[in-house]
């Protein structure tokens, strides 16, 4: 049931309203009539009662009026007024009026608004309420003598009649309502049961409907004849409707399936209005949305026709309109919304004509046949390919019997279609392939549905030829082979060309020896064979000595002849199992196989040496060369591949050249392993640097005089993941001449400046010295990088950084080093020469190097107390430093006696285990707080007897120096 019916009132509601209106109207009319009748009756009763009271009063009042008994008759009229509920009773007493001088004496009682009676006084105007009474009656008061004594007037008001009428009306209404309610209940009950109930059941039965609006259930049967007949009729009608609708739906579904399945666009053309109505398939055909096609504005499919097809289409439509043809049937090209053209098949028929024979309505379809047209084109193309392709094609049935071949098959094999139709392809077998080959072919066809490969077949004339064959299986709907298609080509010329290419690819064109590629294959094969048979292989790399001078002197033609002749000689000198290959220029490689031990190789070498060193006559020029040989053996202690063996032999050959040429040299595997270890060590250092495995320790430098901490030296350490803590001697030497030393040095500088910043934040300001490797110092960008690094730490003054360089590195290029030191000093950075005394510096070098500090190598300090020579060197270094105005600092100070003697010699600064071991940065501040000078340092040193001659010499030298200083001082004063 739809929403519009749900919002409407029910039939029962209408019936209730109608019955209620009828009953209410009837009883209302009846009540009005009864009311009027009762009112008339009440009025009549009131008039009669008033006349009766009037008669009684006129007869009763006469004596009182005659006797002037005013009080008596006032009581009488009061009692009458109250008894009869009159509105007013008025007496006009003529006799009393004569006494009072009036025409009449008026007295009586009048009802007030409060329902009480008020006496009427003489001279009081008549009450308005009395005048407003419903009616009044009057009668004269006559005496017995028939004398007119006065007049009595009775006023009757609405109160009496209204009260009575109200009571009567209330009684009538209540009675009417009761009767009407009973009557409505009875009427509605029987109407609901006999009429409305069946109608509601019918409505409920047809309320539940399917999508098409047809009731889902039957109308129930009823007890009375009329409704029973109605339900049967309706059920029969519903059955017919359901059956018809089901048939229509089936037909409609079939039609939609046909239209949707064929993606057919339908259209209905109203010729009079020109409007064309399209179905949804047109969106897939033309790309336009259906709302855009149907409009407004309405689009005409004829406007999309290609100009080449429009004339034919219009002609056929005109013939259809003129009834010259029965149907419109035309293939046209329609333009898609995207701009491309599609092929469409249009069909139409006129379904409605006017009385004059003009078409009114046309129904038609258009189907996209682009894919069909392309398939037709492909079929035509496939037929052309099948006929004109250069490859032979065989089509066989499921039993492998030939049913069709193309012209190329006849050209290649010599057989015509008539000669092979019905035969099997085995007619072409050459016998070159065994049964196992064809078994694998059919296995591939069965499992994969295809096979391809090369084989040899036989032509009709008996000639054997190679072909490249591809066989594909065509399966039917039951997934069983239906046909086999074989495509093959004669590859005779390809095989010949392949042979030439192999010759070019595997052999040197000049010497016809195997080239590098074929050498690799043979070497790998020899290695596998040797390993399997526990034998040895010798790889000999040889290079002709002085071959370039031959080319330069005699020309390349002579050089080529020389290479060819030497190649032939080497081939003749070698065994059949060996290989000699030219790998480029004047380089050759020989592979000697089948060696039972390494000792089998040397006896074979003289023949190769002789083959390369004998004189050669090249175009009348007698040329003689020698060769250098590098030899390596396989197998080795470690697994190596062919490329590694060639590199080893090449390396050994260069060693032979370095040793004087015209000789051979065996590769040293231990040296190779050392190089590998070195490379691995370098990689681990780089990895450790990236993983932050390096850290810095700091060793204090102090003054022996006052204990002042003049700075610290940053010393690098490596926390190796497997070897533990490593000292600089364990890794620095291996990277001194490698780019890694620069990375490590840069890291040390940055880490030092960062640590200085952290200490400075905590109130500790000092100087830290950093060792700089020669490779880092001599780089062109050293100064630029140092300036940028200092700029990143603006709170660190350059004088807080000291750079230490080895004496040996300073001597490599003293001019450049001196310039670098000068530039750094201009910025505030100081320099120290480390390990001074271990190099070969002259006084000139010491003069040219502007370093502020000389650090005495610890090797001299260590034995100074026992070794006369070391002590002499120390004294010389200290004297030189003092002479040139340089600060001198002793390294490796461990004992108190060393400090005492150093002070006596004139060295006031030092560092070493005797002061403090190198410590991590977090321990420096606590050490600084606890550091105290050892008072014993200032005591006189105890000198051993064997050192006294040197000490005496030192004393005499100092005396001469003091005299010289005194002389110069006096001379300057003059």
* Tens-digit pLDDT profile for residues 310-359: 999 999 989 988 989 989 999 999 999 888 999 999 999 998 999 888 99
What distance separates the 2 farthest-apart alpha carbons in the chain? 212
Q: pLDDT category, 891, cuts 50, 70, 90?
A: very high
DSSP 728: G
Indicate whether 525 and 490 sit together in one domain: no
At 731 the pLDDT is 87
Indicate whether 844 and 891 sit together in one domain: yes
Indicate whether 768 and 893 sit together in one domain: yes
At 130 the pLDDT is 43
Separation between Cα atoms, residue 797 and residue 792, nearest integer Å: 12
Q: pLDDT category, 75, cuts 50, 70, 90?
A: confident
Q: Which of 169, 167, 164, 189 is nearest to 27 (CA)?
A: 169
At 127 the pLDDT is 46
Indicate whether 357 and 478 sit together in one domain: no
Q: pLDDT category, 362, cuts 50, 70, 90?
A: very high
Kindly compute the dihedral angle of the four CA atoms of residues 87, 93, 96, 97, in this order, to the nearest 10 degrees. Answer: 90
More confident residue, 708 or 816: 708
841 pLDDT higher than 60: no
More confident residue, 233 or 45: 233
Residue 932 in domain: no
Which residues contact residue 945 at a Cβ distance below 8 angstroms, ignoring those fewer than 6 apart? Answer: none
Indicate whether 660 and 698 sit together in one domain: no
CATH of the domain at 891: 3.20.20.450
Counting other chains too, the contacts that 440-447 makes at CB distance below 8 Å and 24 or more residues apart are 441/471, 445/471, 445/473, 445/484
Which residues contact residue 824 at a Cβ distance below 8 angstroms, ignoring those fewer than 6 apart? Answer: 783, 786, 803, 830, 831
129 pLDDT higher than 50: no
861 pLDDT higher than 80: yes
What are the Cα distances from residue 163, in Å, to 42, 85, 92, 167?
A: 11, 12, 30, 6
Residue 110 in domain: yes
Ranked by mean pLDDT, which of 145-149, 438-442, 521-525 comes out on top?
521-525
More confident residue, 546 or 20: 546
What are the Cα distances from residue 245, in Å, to 209, 238, 887?
A: 13, 10, 119
Kindly compute the dihedral angle of the four CA atoms of residues 911, 916, 921, 926, in this order, to the nearest 10 degrees. Answer: -130
Give residue-wise pLDDT tens across range 604-624. Answer: 889 999 999 989 998 888 899
pLDDT, average across residues 515-521: 91
Indicate whether 302 and 421 sit together in one domain: no
Domain limits at 643?
507-667
Give residue-wise pLDDT tens across range 273-295. Answer: 889 998 888 888 888 888 888 88
Residue 105 in domain: yes
Give residue-wise pLDDT tens across range 521-539. Answer: 999 999 999 999 999 999 9
Q: Provide the number of structural domains found in the chain.
A: 5
pLDDT, average across residues 780-808: 90
What are the Cα distances from residue 885, in Å, to 707, 769, 847, 879?
A: 22, 20, 10, 10
Strand order in the sheet with 450-458: 402-405, 392-397, 481-490, 464-475, 450-458
At 923 the pLDDT is 95
438 pLDDT higher than 60: yes
Residue 258 in domain: no
Is residue 346 helix, strand or coil? Answer: strand
CB 156 within 8 A of CB 86: yes
At 949 the pLDDT is 62
DSSP 333: E
CB 491 within 8 A of CB 445: no
CATH of the domain at 358: 3.30.450.20
CB 320 within 8 A of CB 350: yes
> In the chain, count of helices (H) and strands (E)?
33, 32
Separation between Cα atoms, residue 79 and residue 73, nearest integer Å: 10
At 786 the pLDDT is 93
Indicate whether 787 and 722 sit together in one domain: yes
Q: pLDDT category, 498, cuts 50, 70, 90?
A: confident
At 944 the pLDDT is 64
Residue 121 in domain: yes
Residue 593 in domain: yes
Separation between Cα atoms, residue 259 and residue 769, nearest integer Å: 94
844 pLDDT higher than 70: no
Indicate whether 650 and 756 sit together in one domain: no
pLDDT, average across residues 25-54: 78
Separation between Cα atoms, residue 352 and residue 35, nearest integer Å: 76
What are the Cα distances from residue 196, in Å, to 182, 185, 228, 231?
A: 19, 14, 14, 14
Q: How many CB atoms lie within 10 A of CB 278?
A: 23
Strand order in the sheet with 88-93: 117-120, 105-111, 88-93, 148-156, 135-142
Which residues contact residue 669 at a Cβ distance below 8 angstroms, ignoring those fewer than 6 apart? Answer: 636, 637, 648
Instruction: Single out the residue in 172, 204, 221 at which a domain terminates.
Output: 172
Indicate whether 610 and 516 sit together in one domain: yes
Indicate whether 624 and 534 sit together in one domain: yes
Residue 348 in domain: yes
Show the DSSP H helices in 362-465 as ranges.
370-388, 407-413, 417-420, 435-448
Show the DSSP H helices in 802-940 as ranges.
807-812, 814-827, 843-848, 858-862, 868-883, 896-905, 921-930
Give residue-wise pLDDT tens across range 931-964. Answer: 999 998 988 777 665 555 666 566 656 655 655 5
138 pLDDT higher than 70: yes
Q: pLDDT category, 888, cuts 50, 70, 90?
A: very high
CB 365 within 8 A of CB 347: yes
DSSP code string of 206-217: HHSB-TTS-BSS
Q: Which of 879, 881, 882, 863 is nearest to 871 (CA)?
A: 863
pLDDT, average across residues 840-850: 64
At 128 the pLDDT is 47
Residue 233 in domain: no
Separation between Cα atoms, residue 21 and residue 11, nearest integer Å: 15
Q: What is the mean pLDDT of the chain?
A: 84
Which is it for the CA torsion 44, 46, 52, 57, positive or negative? negative
At 216 the pLDDT is 74
Ranked by mean pLDDT, which of 216-220, 682-686, 861-865 comes out on top?
682-686
Give residue-wise pLDDT tens across range 229-269. Answer: 877 888 888 788 878 877 877 776 777 676 666 678 888 99
966 pLDDT higher than 70: no
At 291 the pLDDT is 83
Q: pLDDT category, 578, cuts 50, 70, 90?
A: very high
At 736 the pLDDT is 81
125 pLDDT higher than 70: no
Q: Which of 372, 368, 365, 373 is nearest to 346 (CA)?
A: 365
Kindly compute the dihedral angle of the four CA atoms of residues 444, 447, 448, 454, in this order, to the nearest 10 degrees. Answer: 0
CB 494 within 8 A of CB 473: no
Instruction: Single out the residue in 461, 496, 531 at which a domain terminates.
Output: 496
785 pLDDT higher than 70: yes
Instruction: Single out the residue in 172, 203, 235 at which a domain terminates.
Output: 172
Indicate whether 477 and 517 sit together in one domain: no
Indicate whether 27 and 127 sit together in one domain: yes
Half-sphere exposure of 340 (CA within 13 A, CB side): 5
131 pLDDT higher than 50: no
Q: pLDDT category, 764, cuts 50, 70, 90?
A: very high
More confident residue, 8 or 195: 195
At 882 the pLDDT is 81
Please state the φ and ψ torsions of residue 369, each to the nearest 5 degrees. -115, 25
Cα-to-chain-centroid distance, residue 582: 55
At 961 the pLDDT is 60
Which residues contact residue 391 at a Cβ distance below 8 angstroms, ignoring those fewer than 6 apart? Answer: 408, 487, 488, 489
Is residue 632 helix, strand or coil? Answer: strand
């Amino acid at each position: 049931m739809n929403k519009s019916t749900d919002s409407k009132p029910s039939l029962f509601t209408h019936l209730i309203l109608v019955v209620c209106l009828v009953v209410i109207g009837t009883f209302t009319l009846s009540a009005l009539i009864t009311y009027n009748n009762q009112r008339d009756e009440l009025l009549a009763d009131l008039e009669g009662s008033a006349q009766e009271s009037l008669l009684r009063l006129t007869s009763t009042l006469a004596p009182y009026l005659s006797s002037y008994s005013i009080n008596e008759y006032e009581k009488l009229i009061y009692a009458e007024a109250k008894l009869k509920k009159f509105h007013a009773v008025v007496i006009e007493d003529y006799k009393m009026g004569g006494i009072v001088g009036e025409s009449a004496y008026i007295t009586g009682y009048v009802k007030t608004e409060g329902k009480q009676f008020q006496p009427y006084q003489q001279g009081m105007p008549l009450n308005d309420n009395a005048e407003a009474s419903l009616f009044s009656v009057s009668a004269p008061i006559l005496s017995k003598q028939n004398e007119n004594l006065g007049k009595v007037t009775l006023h009757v008001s609405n109160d009496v009649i209204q009260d009575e009428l109200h009571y009567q009306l209330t009684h009538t209404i209540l009675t009417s309502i009761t009767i009407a309610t009973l009557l409505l209940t009875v009427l509605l009950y029987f109407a609901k049961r006999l009429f409305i109930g069946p109608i509601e059941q019918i409505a409920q039965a047809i309320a539940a409907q399917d999508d098409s609006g047809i009731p889902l259930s039957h109308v129930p049967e009823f007890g009375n004849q009329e409704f029973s007949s109605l339900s049967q009729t309706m059920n029969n009608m519903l059955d017919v409707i359901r059956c018809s609708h089901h048939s229509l739906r089936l037909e409609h579904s079939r039609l939609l399936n046909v239209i949707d399945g064929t993606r057919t666009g339908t259209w209905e053309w109203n010729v009079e209005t020109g409007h064309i109505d399209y179905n949804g398939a047109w969106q897939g055909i033309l790309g336009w949305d259906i709302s855009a096609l149907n409009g407004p504005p309405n689009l005409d499919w004829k406007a999309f026709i290609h100009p080449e097809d429009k004339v034919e289409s219009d002609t056929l439509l005109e013939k259809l309109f003129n009834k010259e043809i029965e149907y419109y049937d035309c293939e046209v090209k329609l333009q898609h919304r995207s701009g491309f053209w599609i092929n469409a098949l249009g069909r139409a028929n006129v379904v409605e004509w006017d009385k004059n024979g003009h078409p009114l309505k046309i129904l038609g379809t258009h189907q996209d046949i682009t894919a069909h047209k392309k398939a037709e084109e492909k079929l035509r193309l496939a037929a052309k390919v099948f006929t004109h392709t250069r490859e032979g094609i065989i089509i066989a049935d499921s039993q492998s019997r030939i049913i069709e071949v193309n012209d190329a098959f006849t050209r290649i094999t010599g057989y015509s279609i008539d000669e092979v139709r019905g035969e099997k392809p085995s007619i072409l077998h050459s016998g070159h392939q065994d049964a196992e080959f064809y078994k694998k072919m059919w296995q591939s066809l069965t499992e994969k549905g295809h096979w391809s490969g090369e084989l040899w077949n036989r032509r009709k004339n008996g000639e054997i030829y190679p072909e490249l064959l591809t066989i594909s299986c065509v399966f039917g709907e039951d997934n069983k082979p239906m046909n086999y298609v074989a495509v093959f080509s004669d590859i005779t010329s390809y095989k010949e060309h392949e042979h030439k290419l192999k010759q070019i690819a595997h052999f040197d064109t000049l010497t016809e020896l195997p080239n590098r590629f074929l050498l690799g294959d043979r070497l790998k094969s020899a290695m596998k064979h040797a390993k399997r048979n526990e034998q040895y292989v010798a790889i000999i790399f040889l290079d002709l000595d002085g071959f370039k001078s031959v080319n330069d002197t005699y020309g390349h033609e002579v050089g080529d002849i020389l290479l060819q002749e030497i190649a032939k000689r080497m081939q003749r000198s070698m065994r059949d199992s060996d290989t000699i290959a030219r790998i480029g220029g004047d380089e050759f490689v020989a592979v000697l196989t089948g060696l039972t031990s390494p000792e089998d190789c040397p006896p074979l070498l003289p023949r190769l040496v002789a083959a390369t060193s004998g004189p050669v006559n090249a175009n009348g020029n007698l040329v003689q060369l020698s060769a250098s040989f590098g030899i390596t053996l396989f197998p080795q202690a470690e697994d190596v591949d062919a490329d590694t063996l060639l590199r080893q032999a090449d390396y050994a050959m260069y060693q032979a050249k370095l040793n004087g040429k015209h000789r051979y040299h065996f590769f040293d595997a231990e040296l190779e392993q050392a190089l590998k270890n070195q490379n691995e060590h370098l990689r681990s250092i780089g990895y450790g640097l990236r993983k932050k495995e390096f850290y810095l320790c700091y060793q204090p430098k102090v003054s022996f005089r006052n204990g002042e901490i003049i700075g610290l030296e940053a010393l690098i350490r490596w926390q190796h993941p497997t070897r533990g803590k490593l000292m600089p001697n364990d890794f620095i030497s291996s990277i001194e001449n490698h780019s890694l030393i620069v990375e490590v040095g840069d890291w040390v500088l940055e880490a030092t400046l960062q640590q200085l910043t952290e200490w400075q934040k905590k109130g500790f300001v000092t100087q830290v010295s950093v060792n700089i490797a020669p490779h880092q110092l001599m780089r062109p960008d050293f100064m630029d990088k140092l300036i940028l690094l200092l700029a990143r730490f603006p709170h660190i003054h350059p004088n807080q950084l000291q750079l230490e360089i080895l004496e040996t590195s300073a001597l490599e290029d003293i001019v450049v080093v001196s310039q670098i030191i000068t530039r750094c000093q201009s910025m505030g950075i100081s320099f120290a020469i480390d390990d001074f005394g271990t190099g070969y510096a002259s006084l000139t070098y010491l003069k040219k190097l502007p370093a502020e500090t000389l650090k005495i190598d610890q090797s001299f300090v260590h034995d100074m107390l026992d070794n006369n020579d070391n002590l002499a060197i120390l004294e010389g270094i200290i004297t030189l430093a003092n002479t040139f105005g340089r600060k001198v600092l002793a390294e490796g100070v461990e004992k108190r006696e060393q400090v005492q003697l150093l002070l006596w010699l004139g060295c006031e600064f030092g560092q070493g285990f005797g002061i403090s071991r190198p410590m991590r940065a977090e321990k420096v501040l606590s050490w600084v707080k606890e550091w105290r000078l050892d008072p014993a340092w200032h005591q006189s040193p105890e000198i051993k007897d064997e050192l006294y001659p040197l000490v005496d010499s030192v004393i005499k030298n100092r005396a001469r120096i003091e005299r010289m200083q005194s002389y110069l001082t006096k001379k300057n004063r003059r």
